Amino acid sequence: MRKITVFLIAMLTISALANAQFNENLNVTPEEIFVGVYPKSQYVELIEYNILSTRTEESKATNDILRIKSLVEKGDYCKEKYGFKYFQSVEEEIKKDRGFVEIHCNLVTQNKNLIEVMKDVFGKVLKRDVEITISKEDIGLHFYGNYPNIGGNNSAFTKKDSDQRAVFWKNGTPNLEAIFSIKQEERIPLVDKLDGNAKSPEISIEEINKLKFDSKPIDFMLKPFQDDADIYRLRHVKYYGELIEEYQKKVGKLPFQGEADVPINVFIANSEQEQYVKDENPFPHETRSCKSFIEELEKGLGRKIDEYYDPQFAPVDKPNFYIYMVEDDTYYFAVHISQYYGFAYKVGEHYYKVEITNKPVLGCRAFALNDLVANEKYTIVAEAVPMKEEFFEDREKQFLNETKR
């Protein structure tokens, strides 16, 4: 094999270039594509430069670019264009830049197998079979075709008297980048047909991490129960949060505030759940019983209250009880759910926490109660209709007066 510089690669014959093509789904093709693979971050960046139409009719080209803009706004462009097996878009953007149309895509994956990841990306972008090799010295991309031109932080080769191509990166390179370009002849420019720039909705770091590091799917036998149970868990965090804050307004302090020089914890568990409660907090603290917590709330509020507990009797993957904690003049109340839903934070396998507090801190994971209930994603789940509503309502009724018996 012999090394060929970008300049020599550019000297391919005009006839070869005329037959060259990238993936032309959605009736468009770029003249140049940047592909950046970042293995440790499980992240890929794609930038398509100078998007052109493969149509012959101007009106159809206009309709195509408007559809593409709509796909970008929903974050579905890469899904429709490339159909990646292992990647999902977290951000997409289409814009006019220097007289051309560009599309930027940021994608993440849960797959840590570099060979599968690179075959997926480069195979779909180049629209051909590719092979990936990994040695102590190099990471290699191999494919056939006397096009496209190749640049980037790599070494590109063409086998003598062959259309076998190879691109190598030094093993250990944190970002594997390649720029592929093909001169597109007689294509319709789209810059004047794009009626404005567009981006997909912003996505949070938590959401990106979920896409990259999410757990294996919940067992199909457990998922319907957990989906319904999460609805009630999220209703309960609002219920207790409202009681605690009403108590504070009436009494002038929080339940158990000032009773100890260390945090005070309460595990909200019924008689079916108490055997599973484990106090594993290694830091100095005191505990109070669930019964005393309910009694304190009722005393401060001046009325009897219903009691609500996690719908799950025995724990699977996560605790099946709620937690109240007070430290000085700050409270926290936490429930444990099975999925992220766009606002919880991950603790373990199928184990996510939703926590509220009266003193939220910027960058902290605990919500102010008002902020949580105003969160559209919370509302969608908490106001959903459970599949087995009668079952869960009956289970709730069994424990409405649990500590008063």
* pLDDT 10s digits, 269-316: 999 999 999 888 889 999 999 999 999 999 999 999 999 999 998 888
Return d(Cα 366, Cα 359) in angstroms, integer. 9
CA angle in degrees (0–180, nearest 5) for 167-170-172 = 130
Q: What is the CA radius of gyration of the chain?
A: 29
Are the beta carbons of 6 and 150 closer than 8 angstroms? Answer: yes
Is the pLDDT at 328 greater than 90? The verdict is: yes
Q: Distance between CA atoms of 105 and 85, rounded to whole angstroms?
A: 16
pLDDT for the residue 20: 45
The pLDDT of residue 204 is 60
| CA–CA gap between residue 106 and residue 80 (Å, rounded) | 15
Q: Could you tell me how far CA 48 lies from the centroid of its own chain? A: 23
Interatomic CA distance for residues 254 and 325, integer angstroms = 10
Residue in this structure with the two tokens 């006397």, named with its chain if needed: 146
Nearest Cα neighbor of 255 from 304, 310, 286, 298 is 298
Tens digit of pLDDT for each residue in 116-175? 999 999 999 999 999 999 999 999 999 988 677 888 888 888 877 788 889 999 999 988
In degrees, rounded to 5, the angle at the alpha carbon of residue 46 between the alpha carbons of residues 139 and 186 is 110
- Per-residue pLDDT at 185 exceeds 60: yes
Using alpha carbons, select from 3, 370, 316, 347 the residue that is nearest to residue 154.
Answer: 3
Structure tokens at 404: 């008063």
Contacts of 222 (CB under 8 A, 6+ apart): 316
The per-residue pLDDT for 207 is 64
* Total residues belonging to the chain: 405
Q: Where are the alpha helices (DSSP H) in 273-327?
A: 290-301
CA-based torsion, 324, 327, 328, 331: positive or negative: negative
What's the whole-number average pLDDT of the chain?
87
Tens digit of each residue's pLDDT (9 = 90 or more) over 90-109: 899 999 988 899 999 999 99
The widest CA-to-CA distance across the chain, in whole angstroms, is: 91
Q: What is the pLDDT of residue 3?
A: 35
Question: Is residue 187 pLDDT above 80, yes or no?
Answer: yes
Alpha-carbon span 170 to 87, nearest angstrom: 24
Residue 305: the pLDDT is 97
Q: Quickly count: other Cβ atoms within 10 Å of residue 22's Cβ.
A: 23
pLDDT at residue 258, rounded to an integer: 95
Task: Look at residue 129 in the predicted model and tell me its pLDDT.
Answer: 93
What's the pLDDT score for residue 154?
Answer: 84
Q: How confident is the model at residue 11 (pLDDT cuts 50, 70, 90)?
A: very low
Q: In 3-state terms, what secondary structure has residue 393?
A: helix
Pairwise pLDDT comparison (317 vs 217), residue with the higher score:
317
Are the beta carbons of 49 and 33 closer than 8 angstroms? yes
Predicted local confidence at residue 353, as pLDDT:
93
| Cα gap 356→238, rounded to integer Å | 9
Percent of the chain with pLDDT over 70: 90
Give the pLDDT score at 15. Answer: 29
pLDDT digits (tens, 9 = 90+) for 192-226: 999 999 999 877 655 676 666 665 555 555 788 89
